[in-house]
Chains A and B, each alone.
Chain A
Amino acid sequence: MRVELLYWDGCPSHPKALADLREAMRAEGLDQSSIEVRRIETDAQAQLERFPGSPTIRVDGADVAPTPGEPFALTCRVYHRRDGRISPTPDPADLRDVLRSTPADTRGANR
């Protein structure tokens, strides 16, 4: 399983997103040290990395909260918690669900 966290310094949300991601991986029995953290610094890099905003978390290349049609840019992402609140970071329960639903053969590599 490949787990990536992409962030931009213009948003202060990535430390919390990383902490939530680590906790979700710990809860699922996955190796937290395998998280790839990458900083996005330019518009060109945002296009290249297909980065819709900070933070973006992908599991095996799939966004944990996909937003089809969203332009790629140096911006902050708006997430929605399960209770409807707007948040700068994904709902931790969504992170756990995505990790849990990842096929077992790719999860195995992270244990």
Chain B
Amino acid sequence: MTAVGEEAPTFSLPDTDGTQQQAGGTPATVVVFTCNHCPYALAWHQRLLAVARDYAPRGVRTLAINPNDAERYPRDSAEAMRERVQSGDFDGVPYLRDDSQQVARAYDAKTTPDVFVLDAEGVVRYRGAPDADHDDPSQNAVWLRDALDAVLAGRDPQPAETTPVGCSIKWKGA
């Protein structure tokens, strides 16, 4: 389990091209657990991509991780992930497969989406929802943006934690 203020678990996961990806090496990293089939993840998706696009010039790296059991939820299969990436639906954000679900468990991820902001030292500085309402695009992922602004300025995000909202992660054997 990972709490705000603690060092985030390290990981190395394959993206849809099979390239292993890791967090770190940047002033801040956004790790977002997400998936293909959840309406909450889809509703927030463009807002999260906009954050990735807007903060990349400031050295922020965004990694999307799909941890869902693809056997019971075929829409979350590696092939379906690849199709979304190839269709341009991730706009350059690596989309990683957590097939063992170990990374999601190590992060204690609850839902899709569930967003974590790590600082340059790999410490979790924000965890929760992108903003207060999946149904309101004007919210513009403001909680995530504020957290990144704080981390990049060397301040503590306020709030540092919000309740993640979305579909439960589909654990194997559940």
**A→B interface (CB under 8 Å):** 10-13, 73, 75-79, 85-88
Contact = CB atoms under 8 A, between A and B. Distances in A.
A76 B37 contact: yes
Contact of A85 (B72, B135, B167, B170): B135
A86 B43 contact: yes
Interface in B34-86: 37-40, 42-43, 72-73
B168 interface: yes
Contacts of A12: 165-167
Contacts of B165: 12
B137 interface: yes
A39 to B, nearest CB: 15
Given A10-B168, A12-B165, A78 B39 contact: yes
Given A10-B167, A11-B167, A87 B43 contact: yes
Contacts of B134: 88
Contacts of A78: 37, 39, 42
Given A13-B39, A87-B135, A88-B134, 9 more contacts: A10-B167, A12-B166, A12-B167, A76-B37, A76-B38, A78-B39, A85-B135, A85-B137, A86-B43
Given A12-B165, A76-B167, A86 B42 contact: yes
Contacts of A85: 43, 135, 137
